[in-house]
Amino acid sequence: MEAVMGAATHTSDSEFQKDVLDSKVPVLVDFWAEWCGPCKMVAPVLDELAKEYEGKIKIAKVDVDQNQQVAGSFNIRSIPTLLFFKNGQVVKQLIGAHPKAKLVSEIQEVIG
């Protein structure tokens, strides 16, 4: 996983188990692609949230073009799709670009 302190990190088909499913803290996974306009709108917001919630929730990004195995296993049909994982299980899903306030309320719900 590419780790930049306080920023969303990138994970892959091969690292997904370790980075997301085995994580001790909840993980918000952003399924995105380079050519996706709404994905580019959400990216800076996710980086901000990664800083604000560091230690409480991990924010990971999966490029669906590069990591089709993971995207397929979670039936990702449209992007951006945000999946919230807790204890290795999907607990919430958001499809499309959402404003920061909406993402904050969803994160608060997931982390309790």
Q: Give the active site residues.
A: 36, 39
Q: Which amino acid is at 19?
A: D
Strand partners, 59: 28
Name which of 79, 4, 5 is nearest 42 in CA terms.
Answer: 79
Helix (H) or strand (E) holding 30: strand 27-32
Where are the alpha helices (H) located in the chain, listed in sequence order?
Answer: 16, 37-52, 68-73, 100-111
Q: Are 79 and 31 in contact (CB under 8 A)?
A: yes
